Amino acid sequence: MPQTRTYLHPEGAGEMRADKALSAFLSGEISRTRLEDSFKAGKVLLGGSPIAKKYLLRAGDKIVLEIPDTPKTVVEPVDIAVEVLYEDGDIVVVNKPSGMTVHPGSGTGEDTLVHAMMHICKGNLSLAGGSLRPGIVHRLDKETSGVMVMAKSDAAYFKLVEAFSQRLTRKEYIALASGAFHVSNGSVQKPIGRDPVHKTKMCISEGPDARDARTDWRVLDSYGGRASLVACRIYTGRTHQIRVHMSDMGHPIFGDYTYKFQKNKFREIPPPQRVMLHSWRLELPHPISGKTMTFEAPPPEDFASLAKLLKRTYTYTE
């Protein structure tokens, strides 16, 4: 359970930033990183209200702070259902549900994909990538569903990492995108980097941190000029790559409010509750045998239902 501490800025002391005063007060007890987590979580209170780490404390100020639990260094198995598409002694391929984070991180609980897979695989996942990321060689966003491969043996881990880095895999997604495309297929080759203002977002960028990104796309179906079902193949694995490229083209993905999807343009349908992006096909060489293997997962019910609704609502009314 989290612990609380009380700090009284002493009489006669000059003004001091809250983070510096508390860091000195808690020296040897918690790290600066954990103290910063308390500030970010709004757990450092003055008079019952959260304060920022830059807040200048004055003599007599009484601070009550909650210290977060010590982060776990291992992932414990948790009995959570996840569909397994294939498994052998070296790899396991799953159909990740939307809404599930892949591995533990800041703010996550014990409901990530690796928690589930540690239970399903009875702990037999490679730890070569770190004890908090057992088996992870690539990732999907939390809201993205679909095919993912994980490594069970260390030999498989290193071979899979190599396969992804050398682009020996073929990753294909489907997305429900806004608007109608003027041509049936195309390719976007624009570098992606961190948004300079909103640090949790990515953007088309020529900045020093930008990296090349390529997305090939083709239209599978069109719904009355209002929406499209699009297949996307990515050659690079940049964060939010398909989402950024589609938005930059003027076709933000349904439910992607981070990247310009506007629900008020589609008043005839309920607002989507997640980003409608699904990893439907993954082709890769088996890390041990070298045999080419292909895995597919149909889109989940929410994706399929929205596609049918878009077709029914817009195709037949315009």
Could you tell me what percentage of the chain is helix, strand and coil, using 3-state DSSP and rounding each to the nearest 5?
Answer: 20, 30, 50
Q: What is the mean pLDDT of residues 211-235?
A: 97
The answer to whether residue 1 scores a pLDDT higher than 70 is no
Q: Is it true that domain 3-67 has CATH number 3.10.290.10? A: yes
Q: Catalytic site residue 141?
A: yes
CATH code given to domain 72-166:
3.30.2350.10
The CATH superfamily label for domain 167-318 reads: Pseudouridine synthase (3.30.2350.10)
229, containing H or E segment = strand 227-234
Q: Where in the chain are the domains?
A: 3-67, 72-166, 167-318
Q: Is the pTM of this model over 0.85?
A: no
Give residue-wise pLDDT tens across range 88-143: 999 999 999 999 999 987 667 889 999 999 999 999 999 999 988 999 999 999 99
Do residues 123 and 256 lie in contact, with contact meaning Cβ atoms separated by under 8 Å?
A: no
- Straight-line distance from the first to the last Cα atom of the chain, in angstroms, rounded to the nearest whole number: 58
In this chain, the answer to whether the domains covering 72-166 and 167-318 adopt an identical fold is: yes
Do residues 288 and 159 lie in contact, with contact meaning Cβ atoms separated by under 8 Å?
A: yes
- Of the pLDDT bands very low, low, confident and very high (cuts 50, 70, 90), residue 318 is very low
What is the residue whose two structure tokens read 């570098």? Answer: 191
Question: For the chain, what is the mean pLDDT?
Answer: 93
Q: Per the residue annotation, which of 19, 37, 141, 256 is the catalytic one?
A: 141
State what percent of residues in the chain have pLDDT above 70. Answer: 96
